[in-house]
Structure 1
Amino acid sequence: MTLSSKEIKMKLENITSINDPFLKECKEDTRKTVQQLVNRWMKQYEKDESDRNLFLTMSEYEGKARQLGYQFIAGIDEVGRGPLAGPVVSSAVILPEDFYLPGLTDSKKLSEKKREEFFHFINENALAVGIGIISSEVIDEVNIYEATKLAMTEAIKNLTIKPDYLLLDAMELQVSIPQQAIIKGDAKSVSIAASSCIAKVTRDRMMQDLAKDYPEYGFDKHMGYGTKAHLEALYKYGPIQQHRKSFAPVKNLV
């Protein structure tokens, strides 16, 4: 008895191997709807394979560190160096050796929905997560580069497990822990990518909360970056406490 398209769709959803006999049967089915289902399955399979291979590639830095005997490897990243308003936020994340989250990459490349999904998964499955937040006032006092290092150091201190190795996104810290700085690390290391996601969602939520108090600035739309709408609001209403007074054009309006 020939299966209906609906029955075939349900059966395909439970197939994970490209060598599955049922998939071969479907490929030989001449019905257009069945061929569409097969094509959809193949596209999803190719995406899943691509995500899996990327994750394995991005796990190489962690693997090499473990081969050297390190156990608690913290990935560290920050968000918010460029905005005109709001804090710089850093996160430190220690993942278990069997952690698996295909699709994880630089948080800027993920949709807001996917970031939120990954944020919860990472928090639930990581060995430890630490957050470091440095305000706009401190950024003005010490400069954004030093503030970024302060945020990263604070994130490490807020981990419930002391790391024995650090993987950082293009930064080096004056701490007594072995470390490796990786250019574009949030796209090359799963630990750094995880910390990028945690930091991004954390900061976005802070800016969304700030937007409730200052709706005229639209912080929930641009997260403090110097967009046209933000600059127009800045010139119209002037800077608030959370604006970085050392950043142009804010400093010209103080």
Structure 2
Amino acid sequence: MLSRTRNLMAVALVGASLALATTLSAGAASAAQPVSKGNNIPVGQGYMGAGYAQDTKGQLAQPAPGQVTPNASYPAGIDVSHYQGSINWSSVKSAGIQFAYIKATESTTYKDPTFNANYLNAYNARVIRGAYHFARPDLSSGAAQANYFASNGGAWSADNLTLPGMLDLEGGCYGKSAASMQSWILDFYNTYKSRTGRDVVIYTSASWWNSCTGGWSGMYSRSPLNVAHWTSAASPTIPSGFPFWTFWQYSDSGSVSGISGAVDRDRFSAGTDRLLALANNTP
């Protein structure tokens, strides 16, 4: 997530929105994508982007100050955890941020200490928000972690302001074969959907997905994709097995009013109406 250590299927994008999302995902972007840095992240210290090698930072093209960001006409978002400290969500909203993913849990033992405040305060500021779970496939089953997530902030409600939960997959393959990782992810998905009625969003990079699942296509018809590719190029490199992206984490060193220090910057793949459709589980 931070520079300091760190598809409902693509929402039912129809007509022009679907065509646009597909076009944006086509082809490889010019900058290097995040790559896995291994399984050495202590429990509690995971966040979106923590599992990607820091020695690639100097190679990742970042948007210059004031530059138009990728897909700039569509909703802007961020993702946060306790590393961002206290957040002024009213200022975040005023800065044009329409959605946020907020870390809730990791494994079956850790809940982010700022989650409750962030989740409530984002809601009160009318920022469409969702919770995410940092996966630890080495420590327990997908079902166990999905249940912990759903019971500790990862649930969903049709209130116009809540996105489906997100599964953060990164940080190495955790000693699992591609087939075993596929089974773990599907176990998490099935349990989460049984608990919440929603399809879990998957956050990952092309490098992690292709390496750790073998470029598995088994989730593209189930899960919206949030792809990690820090670049100022017009489109990200997406994992094999996914035809397009729904969210794109394009920078890990953004700046937003109301947040001290760097924060990840994200984009949605269509207009605000489609973001609301994803939040409300409507076609």
- The alignment's TM-score, normalised by the length of structure 1, stands at 0.24
- The alignment's TM-score, normalised by the length of structure 2, stands at 0.22
Question: Which of structures 1 and 2 has the bigger CA Rg?
Answer: 1
Which structure has more helix as a fraction of its residues? Answer: 1
Higher relative contact order (CA 8 A, sep 6+): 2
